[in-house]
Amino acid sequence: MYHNAGLIGHPLSHSISPLIHNYFYHKSRINGGYCCFDVDKSEIAQIIHIMKKFYFKGFNVTLPYKTDIIDFLDEVEFQASKINAVNTVKIIDGKLFGYNTDLFGIEKTFEDFNIEIFKKKILILGSGGAAKPLFYFLKDKNAYVDIVNRTVKNTETVLEQLEIYNFNNFDLLFLKKNNYYDIIVNTTSVGIDKKEFFDMSHIDCGEFAFDFQYSIDGCTPFLDIYKNSVPKYTDGLLMLIYQGLKAFGLFNDVKLEIDINELKKFILKKG
């Protein structure tokens, strides 16, 4: 039997998830493949029905459906439930089980760069769906966390849902004040269309700059600001690989060991 999986979201024209997952299939020698389903919200139920019919092992979910998908699930793991976002769904005997492997991707990225969180001063840009697992990850790390978002009220709502009461919340005017942070994380899509990023000239970063965006043809606009002044920085490619690896393991009940650097080189070559 084929061990197929897929990705639901919109838009998906630039997604490299099929490239990553089909690399996993090749390395694991598992007979299967991974494909994209670029759909409107109204088509999600139909796509799920098709995947069940053809015995898919599961699927990933990306923007903008990571919360919407929960309504279709039979069971959601504790962490994904608390984050209120699911990016991985396993299909077992026609039932749907939801997980959030983005959290694993974030944890592994900090671990690979040997970044200590305890007592660090951290700035997070954005509080949308991508930021939720990051907030959850930092919740009990005893760090000093400031969040900057266009709309303060939106951030307040997310923090209340996650039962986080010790993060500071600011609007974009905060970036005009001189500040220093050990770690800065960008979770927004600002600059993704090659336009300018926020003015970060007043914000210094001393240790680690982490962009959830990724680029296979050069540095992201956010990292362009800090790459020459911080000792460690990364885009979101590593996070994407790790969350995909975790999802692949869930789909196929395996623990696949891969050479991360080899995979990154493969992606950059194919991209």
- In this predicted structure, the answer to whether residue 168 has a pLDDT above a threshold of 80 is yes
41, 53, 66, 121: the catalytic one is 66
CATH code: domain of residue 193 = 3.40.50.720
Average pLDDT over every residue of 241-253? 97
* Confidence class for position 20, pLDDT limits 50, 70, 90: very high
β-pairing, 34-38 vs 75-76, is unpaired
Domain count, the chain: 2
Same domain, 95 and 172: no
Question: Tell me, what DSSP letter sits at residue 179?
Answer: E
Same domain, 213 and 118: yes
> pLDDT at position 124, please?
98
What letter represents residue 24's amino acid? F
Same domain, 119 and 64: no
Q: Please answer whether residues 122 and 182 qualify as being in contact, where contact means their C-beta atoms are separated by less than 8 angstroms.
A: yes
Mean pLDDT of the chain: 94
- Give per-residue pLDDT as tens, 54-77: 999 999 999 899 999 999 999 999
The full length of the chain comes to 271
Told to judge if 66 belongs to the known catalytic residues of this protein, a careful annotator would answer: yes
Q: Please answer whether residues 10 and 61 qualify as being in contact, where contact means their C-beta atoms are separated by less than 8 angstroms.
A: no
- Give per-residue pLDDT as tens, 194-243: 678 999 999 999 999 999 998 876 689 999 999 999 999 999 999 999 99
Same domain, 254 and 205: no
Q: Which domain holds residue 15?
A: 5-100+238-270
Conformation bin of residue 55: beta by default, left when phi > 0, alpha when psi is -120 to 50: left
